[in-house]
Amino acid sequence: MHSPPIDAIRLIFAEAVGDARGEVSRVYDVGGQLYARATLPGRDGDLVGGVALKVLDAIAEVRPAATWAGGTCALIETQMAVGRVVELGGAPALTDVRDAVRACVQPAVFEDVIAERHAAAAQAIEHPGNVVLSLITALSRAGGESERLLPLLPAIMDRVHAVTRPTDWAAVQAVAAVAASVTDETTRWHLDVLAGRLLLIRPSTGRQAWAG
């Protein structure tokens, strides 16, 4: 049993999202695992701001999110959009979860995401192999979850190859589209994180992504 209970964490998440004039859009709550997504008022074309919550074992993780066409999603990592991890172990954890959500729903966070997206969309990728290098670099930060994601690389690259002139944002879209196609919530979460990491590890930088 979680301490605090998952129901209490869900409620805190929903309240913090509501305070930011957002709406919880997706919840998976089965067997002690919680994955929740919410959308926020921030908009830029088809890009919609958001926030996501994962509760697994005794850890809660909150990340800024961005969604776009078809419900595809990236859990964002930029200089400002930084996720937070909360160790669960008593009543103070609820306050920590609330504070983490509030930090992720700030308008300035989404403004940073918008800027990163526009920059990524303007950077062409010279060779698809650079996407592979960037994905491997991002996977190296996923720890043991990299084994779960490696078999999905061909599907990601198929989507990149389908784009006539791929950009850094097209690589992000490719990962997010594969994430939207899987049914396992844990796999989807880690793919969405992988999509967000490509905003920092830009395939257009070529071998610099591998060296960095």
* Percent of the chain clearing pLDDT 70 (strictly above): 94
- Per DSSP, the residues of 44-97 read ETTEEEEEEEEEETTEEEEEEEEE-GGG-EEE--SSS---EEEE--STHHHHHH
In angstroms, the CA 157 to CA 49 distance is 26
Domain boundaries, the chain: 6-116, 122-211
Confidence band (pLDDT; 50, 70, 90) for 24? very high
Phi, psi of 19 (to 5 degrees): -60, -30
Q: Would you state the pLDDT for residue 137?
A: 87
34-82 per-position pLDDT tens digit: 999 999 999 999 999 999 999 998 899 999 999 998 778 888 877 777 7
Q: Which amino acid is at 162?
A: A
173-182 per-position pLDDT tens digit: 999 999 999 9
**pTM of structure:** 0.90
- Residue scoring higher pLDDT (3 or 58): 58
